Amino acid sequence: MEKILKFSKNIIEELNKLVSAGNPVLSSDKGDLFVSDTAPVSVIRLKIPVTDYLAFIESLDTEKPKRIHLIPINNESFQIIVNAPVVIENDSTLINGDKVCIL
């Protein structure tokens, strides 16, 4: 049985505001990454379909993020919640301290 994660209304509202401010920390042809300063989650606003994005992640040989950290969500402002702390450091993206490729 697949577990269902739920995020509080306050967290979703904060993440919507983060995206509407329009300052992604990372952008690519696949989407934009927005990192919260106040919550241990980030969001990705996709420029491609969610299924294509998840197929891209699965196709990675190295620096693949753990699938449990990438939560698809039905939201107008963003399509993926990264359910872990994200840090951009020296042109690298880290999730929980692990170097990953998410865009």
Query: Which of the two residues, 6 and 9, has the higher pLDDT score?
Result: 9
Q: Are 49 and 87 in contact (CB under 8 A)?
A: no
Q: Residue 19 domain-assigned?
A: yes
Q: Considering only CA atoms, which of 7, 99, 82 is closest in space to residue 45?
A: 82
- Give me the domain span that covers residue 90: 9-100
Q: Identify the band that residue 5 occupies on the pLDDT scale cut at 50, 70 and 90.
A: low
- The pair phi, psi for residue 32, each rounded to 5°, is -125, 135
pLDDT tens for each residue of 57-88: 999 999 999 999 999 998 999 999 999 999 99
Q: Are 95 and 70 in contact (CB under 8 A)?
A: no
Q: Residue 2 domain-assigned?
A: no
Per the structure, how many domains does the chain have? 1
The model's pTM = 0.91
